Chain A
Amino acid sequence: MKVIKIDKKEWAKGLERLSKTYQLFGPAKHEAFFVFKALEDGELPDLDVQNTRLSPRSVIYPQSEKMFEYTLDEDQEDHHILKEIDKEYSSRAIIGIRPCDAKAFLLVKRNFDAPEYKDPYWIKSYEATTLVGHGCNAPCSCCFCTTAGCGPFHEEGLDILLVDVDDTYLAKIITEKGDRLLAAAGWDTKTDTATNDPIENMKEAAEAKITSMVSTDQLKDKSTTDLFEASFWEDVSFACINCGTCTYVCPTCWCFDIQDETHGLSGIRMRNWDSCMYPLFTFHGSGHNPRDTKTQRVRQRFMHKLKYYVDKYDNGIQCVGCGRCVRFCPVNIDIRRVCDLMNSFEL
C-alpha cells in the first residue's frame, strides 16, 4: 500500500485542482455547529474538528430526496404516472471523514445493496463518492470504536487515510478510487519516501487513548426472544422522551418514509429519514400499533443494532462506536450500558 507525503502548504492548491472534477464535501461550521457540507470555492474542510454533530450520511443518503415526479393535469398524456427524475451522480469526495463514519457506510450498504433488491439512489450515490478519511489522533472521551469493530485509524470503507503529522499529511492510498483522486489533486507524489511506520505508531497511540469499551461477544448466542422479553427494557427506556436524536445523529441508521408532495397539479414522491422512535413509524391504518409504547420503540432500536443485525448479517453489530448518541441523548441513555446489559444477560 502506497503512502505519500502531502506538504500542508500544498494542501489547498490540491483541493482546488480536485474541485474541478470532484464536488467536495467536508466538515465546516454551519451556524453554531460543524456539519459535513458541500464546500464552496476556496473553502477548506476544517480538519481540526473532532467530529460533527450529524454524521456525514446525508452526503450519500440525503435527509430528503426526490424519487419521482408526476402531473395530475389530465390534459397531459402521462397524468398520474410516476416518472423517474434525472439525477446527477458525478464524482464527489468527502474530505476529512472519520474512519468510524466511513465504516458505517459499509454497514448500511448491506441494507441498500442487498442480493434481492438494490436501492438505486443510495448505490449510485455511494459509488460516485470517494472517501478521504482523517485518522483520529485525539479521539473523544465517549468514542468506543475499538470494541465496536472499528478504530481511530480503521481503513475499512476508506479510499484514502490521511494522518496529520506536524506540517504534513501522510496519505495512505487504500483503493483505486483513492488513487484516482490523488492523481486529480496533483500533489507532488515524488516525495514517496514516507513509510507506513509513523502511521502504525500513531495508530497504536490513538487506540490506547480509547478507554471506553463495549462487550459484544455473547450477543449472537443469546436467544432473540429471551432478550426481547428481558426485564431491563423498562428501566433502559424509562427516561427516554422519544425525541429521535439518537437515530438522526447515528451514521448507521437508515430508516425512511415515503411521501407524496403536490403543488398545484404537479408533485414529487420523495423519501425522508424516519425514526423507529416515533409512534407513527409502525402505526397501522386500522389503529393497531405493534410498537405503541416507548419501551417497545427503545427496545426495537437497541435490538436492531445489537441483535437483529448481528443475526441477520453475521458481521458484527450495527454500530461503529462513534459515540454521538451517547453525547447527544438529552436523558443520558447510553448504548454502551445497554450493550453490556444485553451481552451479559442471563435468564
Chain B
Amino acid sequence: MQNPYLPYPVRIEEIITETEDKNLKTFKLVFLNPDDENKFNYNAGQFAELSIAGKGEIPIGIASSPTEKGFLMFTVNKVGLVTSHLHNMKPGDIMGVRGPLGNWYPWDIMEGKNVIIIGGGFAFTTLRSSIIYMLDPANRPKYKDIHVIYGARTPGMLLYRDELSEWEKRDDIHMHITVDATDDPNWKYNVGFVPTITDQKAPSGNTDTYAIVCGPPIMIKFTQPVLDKLDYAHDHIIMSLEMRMKCGIGICGRCNIGKEFVCKDGPVFTLDQLNSMPKEY
C-alpha cells in the first residue's frame, strides 16, 4: 500500500526573492530521485505539501507549469513556523514535497473558450502556472483570447516581474498589470485596484468566457459585483480557496466547508458551487 503521507525528497536548486519587502521567495526544487518527477504528474491549479523535517508541512500552490520539466517551483509568503524556516534555507538544502494535491482549473471545459485571469497580491502563483501552461505552443491553440488582470500594492510587490514584461510584449495574451499606487514616474502600466481595472478592461461575460479569480478576500469581495455587472454566470467564475491543512488528502478533517474538503474536493470551486456551500471560509 502506497503511503500518501510520505514526501518525495527534493533539493533546493535556487531561491529568488520576489518582492521588495523580501517576504515572498520563490523556491525551485529538484527531485532527488528522477523517477519521482514522473510520479508527480500535475495540472495547473494544484498544490503540494512542502515538507521540512523537524518543522512540518505547508500547503502551497504549484507555481511552475506542467509544461516546465526538471523542477517544481513554489512562491512562499513568510508567515509562520515552516515558512519562516524555509525562508532561511539555502540552495542545496534537502526537503520534501508531497503531492500533487487537490483539483485544478477546468482545462478541459475551458478548451475553445476565452480565459480571463484575475489575480491579486501573492495569490498569483497557480495563475503563473496557468499562463505558462496556456502559452505553451502545444496548448495555446486550444484557448481563444487570454486576458490577465494582475494587481499588487506597488510595482515592487508584483511577482515574476521579468515574465510579466515578457508577456506584455506578446500579442497572444492581453496583459493588464496594475498597482494600487506608485510614485514611480516610469511606471507605464495601470494604477488602480483590481476591481476597477477589471471593470475597465475585462471583456463581457458569455458562455464562451471563463474568469479565474484568485486573490485576497477584499479583492474577491469587490471583484464579484464587477463580474456580475459584466454578465459572468456564476458557473463561469472559477476560484481557488485557501484553508489550514494537514493531511492534504481529505482525511484529517480540518479544511472542510460543509461536506467538501478544500484539500481534496477543491481548492478550485466555481462561484456557483460556493453559493450552495456554507459561508465558512
Query: Which chain A residues border B264 with CB–CB below 8 Å?
Result: 116-117
Q: Find residues 192-237 in chain A having any chain B CB closer than 8 Å to their own CB.
A: 224-225, 228
Which residues 226-273 in A have Cβ within 8 Å of B in the complex?
Answer: 228, 254-260, 262, 267, 269, 271
**A80 and B53 in contact, given A255-B254, A276-B254, A285-B83 (Cβ under 8 angstroms):** yes
CB-based contact A81/B249 at 8 Å: no
Residues on B with beta carbons closer than 8 Å to the beta carbon of A291: 280
Bound complex: CA A307 to CA B257 (Å): 12
Which A residues lie within 8 Å of B276 (CB)?
224-225
> How close is A82's CB to chain B, nearest CB, in angstroms?
6
Tell me whether B230 is interfacial, beta carbon within 8 Å. no
- B95 near A80 with CB under 8 A, answer yes
Stretch at the interface among A9-17, A64-72, A326-334: A64-72
Bound complex: CA of A84 vs CA of B83, how far in Å?
24
Cβ contact within 8 Å between A290 and B243: yes
A112 in the interface (beta carbon within 8 A)? yes
> What total of chain A residues lie within 8 Å of the partner, measured CB to CB?
53
Q: Which residues A257-316 have CB closer than 8 A to chain B?
A: 257-260, 262, 267, 269, 271, 274, 276, 281-286, 288, 290-291, 296, 300, 303-304, 307-309, 311-312
> Residue B65 at the A interface, CB < 8 A?
no
Q: Is chain A's binding surface mostly helix, strand, loop or mixed?
A: mixed
Inter-chain CA distance A274–B245, complex, in Å, is 13
Asked whether B185 is an interface residue with its Cβ less than 8 Å from the other chain, the reply is no
- Centre residue among B4, B51, B242, B251 by max chain A CB count within 10 A: B251
A137 within 8 A of B: no
Task: Indicate the member of B53, B56, B251 with the most A CB atoms within 10 Å.
Answer: B53
Please judge, given known A-B contacts A82-B51, A228-B278, whether A256 and B253 are in contact too, CB under 8 Å.
Answer: yes
Residue of A nearest to B5 (CB): A67
Is residue A111 within 8 Å, beta carbon to beta carbon, of the partner chain? yes
Contact of A304 (CB < 8 Å), options: B51, B83, B247, B256 = B256
Q: Are A308 and B258 in contact (CB under 8 A)?
A: yes
- B94 sits at the interface (CB 8 A): yes
Binds B, one of A119-127, A140-148, A149-157, A169-177: A119-127
Residue of A nearest to B217 (CB): A288
**Contacts A225-B278, A262-B54, A286-B79 given; does A84 touch B6 at CB 8 Å:** yes
- Contact between B254 and A68, CB atoms less than 8 A apart: no
Q: Can you add 20 more A-B contacts, CB < 8 Å, to A116-B249, A257-B252, A303-B278? A: A80-B53, A81-B9, A81-B96, A82-B9, A84-B3, A117-B249, A117-B250, A117-B264, A118-B1, A224-B276, A254-B253, A258-B5, A271-B252, A276-B254, A283-B244, A284-B243, A284-B244, A288-B217, A303-B258, A312-B259
Query: Using a CB–CB distance below 8 Å, which chain A residues touch chain B?
Result: 67-68, 70, 72, 79-82, 84, 111-112, 114, 116-120, 123-124, 224-225, 228, 254-260, 262, 267, 269, 271, 274, 276, 281-286, 288, 290-291, 296, 300, 303-304, 307-309, 311-312
